[in-house]
Copies of this chain bind each other. A is one copy, B any other.
Amino acid sequence: MKVLILGADGYLGWATCMHFSSKGHEVTAVDNYFRRKASERLGCPPLILTPELPRRAKTWKDMGGKAIRVLPGDITDYDFLLSVFSKCRPDVVVHYAEQPSAVYSMMGRDTAAFTLMNNLVGTLNLAYAVRETGAACHIVKLGTMGEYGTPDIDIEEGWIEIAHKGRKDKFLFPRQAGSIYHTSKIQDTDLLWFFARTWGLSITDLMQGPVYGISTEEDGMYPALMPNFNYDEVFGTVLNRFIVQAVAGHPLTVYGKGGQVRGYINIKDTLQCVYLSSMRPPGPGELRVFNQVTETFTVKELAAMVKKAGEKLGYEVRIENMENPRVEQEEHYYNPKYTGLMELGLKPHYLTDDVLEGMFHMVAGYRTTINREAIFRGIKWR
């Protein structure tokens, strides 16, 4: 199968390229290096400095992997995206090519406008490219559980039947998000649903929770192949940040009381979910939505788990409840459904003590490169 991966240099991107490649698919990797450059510019590079895509592809091939084609460029440039389609003629496009940080989107007017522009024009261009090239191509789009916010009713997988005044109809599940970034993902979903029903495109939208993990099966722990693992406030996800904080002797930064519940997923399971979805496309005109998480925790539970695992390994771990820079509920109902991907065959890697210890050991190997300044700066939502 010909697989086009947009956003191939992100936390999930390169790992996804290798995962498809290892299973014999023909992979094309596209990225404009936005996140790499932005995290450098903001003084918060990833824990492990990885090379750019051509060098990663060469390393992968040198180690016996199948060739991965790299096409650097920006998908908000429509002519560039059309040139990618004409070279690659994909059967499936995995679309990660978005500004992925809620914090970045809330830094100011310019980063907010960039987030809207980048994410919506990129998604629009992708739909147009699929239609204009006549590709019989399935789009697998990364969404976020953050689209739903924290409603007082159970969260279904994308769709809900609403009964109202004696009549009923089926709708996208109501969504209201906590940042401009998360709002841009709601807007993406609305765009994709429009193109599914207007042009008959075939789309999977994966509502993913915060991902954690530093290594996947395919990287063999070679730095040149490992994920771009950020541990800072802007681009790092919460569990990854906590582990680095614990190793660096920085207090774990719990916002408010830490009662916020979210659904989490191991990066290895992200790869499974994207792969399983790609192998089983929905029909034309269908927007299929899965909630891509494997278990839920409160932030204070996560912090306690990290503290316990760290202390077992001899780290002194302190939890700090700080003023919440975000605008979010700290106590709320949260009951998302997430069975669809299991039904497709997902075998979850749960967050066990072993997994946490493994992450501690990996991070410890890079402890001298941790930049404490980058860990927390308190960028406010208000």
Interface pair A168/B190, CB less than 8 Å apart: no
A352 contacts the other chain (Cβ, under 8 Å)?
no
Interface pair B176/A153, CB less than 8 Å apart: no
A34 contacts the other chain (Cβ, under 8 Å)?
no
A194 and B327 CA atoms in complex are apart in Å by 11
Interface pair A381/B198, CB less than 8 Å apart: yes
Interface pair A167/B186, CB less than 8 Å apart: no
User: Which residues from chain B contact A171 at a C-beta distance below 8 Å?
Assistant: 151, 174, 176
A379 and B162 CA atoms in complex are apart in Å by 34
User: Which residues from chain B contact A180 at a C-beta distance below 8 Å?
Assistant: 124, 191, 194
A199 contacts the other chain (Cβ, under 8 Å)?
yes
Partner of A169, one of B116, B151, B194, B382: B151
| Number of copies of chain A assembled together | 2
- Mark A286-319 against chain B: 1 for CB-CB distance below 8 A, else 0: 0000000000000000000000000000000000
Interface pair A162/B162, CB less than 8 Å apart: yes
A275 contacts the other chain (Cβ, under 8 Å)?
no
A382-B124 contact given A174-B174, A194-B177, CB 8 Å threshold:
no
User: Which residues from chain B contact A183 at a C-beta distance below 8 Å?
Assistant: 190-191, 194
User: Which residues from chain B contact A199 at a C-beta distance below 8 Å?
Assistant: 382
- Mark A145-168 against chain B: 1 for CB-CB distance below 8 A, else 0: 000000111100000101111011
A255 contacts the other chain (Cβ, under 8 Å)?
no
User: Which residues from chain B contact A174 at a C-beta distance below 8 Å?
Assistant: 162, 171-172, 174
Residue of A163, A171, A190 with most partner-chain B CB within 10 A: A171
Partner of A187, one of B165, B169, B190: B190
A 196-216 contacts with B by CB, 8 A: 197-199
- A interface, CB within 8 angstroms of B: 78, 109-110, 112-113, 116-117, 120-121, 124-125, 128, 132, 151-154, 160, 162-165, 167-169, 171-172, 174-178, 180, 183, 186-187, 190-191, 193-194, 197-199, 327, 333, 381-382
